[in-house]
Chains A and B, each alone.
Chain A
Amino acid sequence: MKTNDIILQTVAKLASLVILLFSIYIFFGGHYSPGGGFVGGLLASGAIVLLLLAYDLKTVAAILPIDYKLLIAAGLLIAVLTGAGALLFDAPFMTHTFSYFDVPLLGHTALHTAVLFDLGVYLVVVGVTMTIIQTIGESE
């Protein structure tokens, strides 16, 4: 029997975009308001899980051809490299710094190296969550 779930699929298309935008907002707002890499990563994987619920594993793999285990490795590499980058400037491991820049669209903005570490956390959380869910979903 073929079931027709076009309402769920249409809602999932729109809602997953909104959830992804919200996760990016929470990720970048983490320095001054509640949130950060962990919650943002969980929300991004929540958007992918909503697509997995509306469609199936093969379709989502065609939409997002990402190997999530590579995402974990890339996140850990970014986190370690931002920590080790402080050693180049004669500072202890994991020393972070920030400065003010004039970014074209955003104007006078404070850019902090901690956001790179947070990006590593974000990628690791997305990778671990999606690896767990995909591995459980694939087993028959």
Chain B
Amino acid sequence: MFHAILQISLLCVSISMLGLVYRVIKGPSAPDRVVALDAMGINLIAIIALVSMLLNTPAYLDAILLLGILSFIGTVAFSKFLEKGEIIENDRDL
């Protein structure tokens, strides 16, 4: 029973990932693609959590936190590039 529930939720998350892939490919502007990639990172976290429950191991829990941090830093870097044109400034008071 529990196994079937986990597999059904994996299927649902995979379908939502497919919708986000459509948005990444089709998205008319760059911010659309950035937001879709950020949401894909969150969905990947959900998939890792479901798989770690299916395999009955706590070994993937560090990867969940790691992926959250990486997707946050990546989104911040991309949005700063879109806003200012450069990611790391030399001196922001100039």
Contacts and interface: CB of A to CB of B under 8 A. Distances in A.
B91 A57 contact: yes
Contacts of B77: 49, 53
B62 A35 contact: yes
B66 A52 contact: no
A46 B91 contact: no
A55 to B, nearest CB: 7
B92 A55 contact: yes
Contacts, number: 53
Interface of A: 3, 8, 15, 19, 22, 26, 33-35, 39, 43, 46, 49-50, 52-59, 133, 136-138, 140
Interface of B: 59, 62-63, 65-66, 69-70, 72-73, 76-77, 80, 83-84, 87-92
14 contacts: A3-B84, A8-B76, A15-B72, A33-B59, A33-B62, A34-B59, A43-B69, A46-B70, A49-B73, A53-B80, A56-B89, A56-B91, A57-B89, A137-B88
